[in-house]
Each structure stands twice: as structure tokens, then as C-alpha cells.
Amino acid sequence: MTLPVRAGLDGLADYHSPQVSVEVRLNTNESPYPPPAGWREAFLQELQTVSFHRYPDRGAAALRGAIAELHGVPPAQIFAANGSNEVIQALCLAYGGPTRTAVVFEPTYALHAHIARLTGTEVVTGARDANFVLDPAEAERTISAARPAVTFLCSPNNPTGMVDAPDVLDAARAATDAGLVIVDEAYGQFASQSAIDDVADDGNLVVTRTFSKTWSMAALRLGYCVAPAEVVAALDRVILPYHLDVVQQIAGRLALRYKPEMEARVAMLVDERGRLVRALSDLAVDVWPSGANFVLFRPRAGSGTDIWEALVARSVLVRNCSTWAALDGCLRVTVGTPAEDDAFLEALAEVLG
């Protein structure tokens, strides 16, 4: 028996990164380093005090307060959820939906368009150029024509690593009349510029962040946005009650006490990213500058999928983007530990011959 799913879901595949059992996993942009031992101890200790028979704080006030303090904004401008993906879903539930439009600029993070479509939002696509740079004029043109309820920018952009020039955001905001402009900064701390200080309580800019990458907490599923208080109130209306469990709330609040340690990990990964890019430049691949914790590259000969498979055969897993629109032949590698990156570089050199 085939039970028909609702209209609009038929053409939507599920979204995942193939997981293969390998020694070197560089495919999902996690941190190769765990959170600090001090955080782990404080976290486990606080878990001992939890009343597990009671619902968690529905508004996650302590967590929101700590995030608000981190960014120097009132707690009413912070919304937290199960990963920044759920923040994006809540934004689409509140501001997208049938008869409304979202704009994305491809190639970019596939979940922006995917989540928009899941919520019944029509997706209009603008394009980055052949080197994945988003031209402010293209942003302006696409937004003026589509008049979207939601525009997604992503800086640093996944999977290209590219940081948008500030005039891209200026152009997007100038072209938008009644919609939200969302800047996905999942990799924000790896770059030298951010839009987070531009968020104003009376504006239409929202910046999303995650604990999954720089904070080394992908297992805990925690993300948030800084937004006008009016937007946060709308997100609170569409999210399920008690969506953040007590464990996530404790973990996130305590993580923020270890900001210097986070910054030290980020600095280490940025250095390592430089080494990885230089080493890739010596191989027969095209490589793009990255402001994130991953690097996009394109082997000059051979099929991307064949090279991806040959790397897997050498126990190295990267992301195969080679069949995605506008990413012909490209692969994406997460910055790992120096040892992991050496294993990747050695395997790639061997594969490329």
C-alpha cells in the first residue's frame, strides 16, 4: 500500500550526508576537537541536580540570557532551538508558507531551500558567479523581482567557504521592503567579519548561529538567532512547547563560560585551514579561499565521484558536491586535526597520481 504524502512533498528527497565507516571523517564540518574538560565536568555535575520528572524551562531563560550577554543584546532578541536548522524552520513557519516566497543564491546551503519548500514557501533562486562570488547587483535584481518574505544569505557560505562582501548585505536590505533578511553565520567565528552587530530591534535583519561548529557541540543540537524582539516573539508562537530539553539548556549556558577556549580552537583551525589550502594549491586541483572550517576544491581531471570513492577506499571521507547544481566536480573537505589533514592530503595526492 502506498499512502500519499501531502502535496508538495512528492519531489522532496530527504537531506543527509552519506556516513561511511572510515578512519578520517572530514565530511560534516564538525570541530575535530571536543569541548574543554572544565565544561564537561561542570555539565555532568549540573546534570546531577536536574529534576528529570519536570518539564524544562519552556522559555530557556537562563540560556537566552547567557547568549544575549555574549552578544550585548536584550534576551528578548534571542531565540534558541534544536540546531540552527530548527531556527531556520521556525523562521520559515512564521514568515514563509503558502503564497510567500524565499530567495536563495545558489550554490549555497541546501537546507535553506529545502526547509522553505517543506513549509510550503516558494523558492526563487539567484546565482553566484563562476567563482561563487555573489554580486550585489544580482542580489538586488533577484530580491526586487521576487519581493520575498524571506531572503537567505550565508556567510561564510556553505559549501563554497566564501565570505560575502559587506555590500551584498547592504544591497539585499535596500532591495527588501517587507521581508526578513537572514544571514546564516553557522561558520561566523571562522571569518573576520560578521553581520551580528547590524541586527537592530527595529530592523528586518536576523543572524543565525550554531553551537555545532565553533563551540564543538554538534551532538547536543543547539542553535540560535539574534533578531528583532518582534521576530523572536513570532518564533515563540510557532515552536513546539518545551522544544529545548534541560540537557541542551544546561550545556549551552555552560559552554559560553569557555569563550576563550572556543576562540583558541577557532584560531588553531584557521591556521590549519591556511596550511590545508596551501597544500591543496600544490596539487592538481582548483581551490577557493575559505572563511569557514572547510575548503572547496575541484580536481582538474577525473570525475568528482570517482575521486570521492577512491578517497573512501583510503579511509578518508569528504563531502561529494560534484553532482550538485553549479558545483560540477567539486569536493568539500572539513579542516581536521593536522594528522587527519595529512592523511587526507596524502590520500588525495595518491589518487590524483
Looking at the Cβ atoms of 94 and 111, the one nearer to ligand PMP is: 111
> Counting contacts by CB under 6 A, is residue 299 touching ligand PMP?
no
- Which of these ranges, 40-48, 79-87, 132-140, 233-241, lies near ligand PMP under the rule CB under 6 A? 79-87
The one among 27, 158, 160, 290 contacting ligand PMP by CB under 6 A: 158
The one among 172, 186, 217, 220 contacting ligand PMP by CB under 6 A: 186
- Which of these ranges, 63-71, 81-89, 273-281, 313-321, lies near ligand PMP under the rule CB under 6 A? 81-89
Q: Which of residues 87-106 bind ligand PMP (CB under 6 A)?
A: none
> Counting contacts by CB under 6 A, is residue 184 touching ligand PMP?
yes
The one among 39, 43, 95, 109 contacting ligand PMP by CB under 6 A: 109
Q: Which neighbouring-strand residues pair with 184?
A: 154, 208
Site string for ligand PMP, 3-42 (x = CB under 6 A): --------------------------x-------------
Q: What minimum distance in Å lies between the beta carbon of 190 and ligand PMP?
A: 11
- Which of these ranges, 57-65, 78-86, 317-325, 345-353, lies near ligand PMP under the rule CB under 6 A? 78-86
Q: Which residue is nearest to ligand PMP (CB)?
A: 83
Site string for ligand PMP, 114-143 (x = CB under 6 A): ------------------------------
Neighbours of 157 (CB within 10 A): 25
- Residue 56: asked if its preceding bond is cis (omega within 30°), the reply is no
Looking at the Cβ atoms of 121 and 214, the one nearer to ligand PMP is: 214
Q: Which of residues 245-284 bind ligand PMP (CB under 6 A)?
A: none
Q: What does the H/E/C string look like for the chain?
A: CCCCCCCCCCCCCCCCCCCCCCCEECCCCCCCCCCCHHHHHHHHHHHCCCCCCCCCCCCCHHHHHHHHHHHCCCHHHEEEECHHHHHHHHHHHHHCCCCCEEEEEECCCHHHHHHHHHCCCEEEEEECCCCCCCCHHHHHHHHHHHCCCEEEEECCCCCCCCCCCHHHHHHHHHHCCCCEEEEECCCHHHCCCCCHHHCCCCCCEEEEEECCCCCCCHHHCCEEEECCHHHHHHHHHHCCCCCCCHHHHHHHHHHHHHHHHHHHHHHHHHHHHHHHHHHHHCCCEEECCCCCCEEEEEECCCCHHHHHHHHHHCCEECEECCCCCCCCCCEEEECCCHHHHHHHHHHHHHHHC
Q: What minimum distance in Å lies between the beta carbon of 29 and ligand PMP?
A: 6
Q: What minimum distance in Å lies between the beta carbon of 53 and ligand PMP?
A: 29
Q: What minimum distance in Å lies between the beta carbon of 162 and ligand PMP?
A: 12
**What is the binding site for ligand PMP (CB under 6 A)?**
29, 83-85, 109, 154, 158, 184, 186, 210, 212, 218, 223
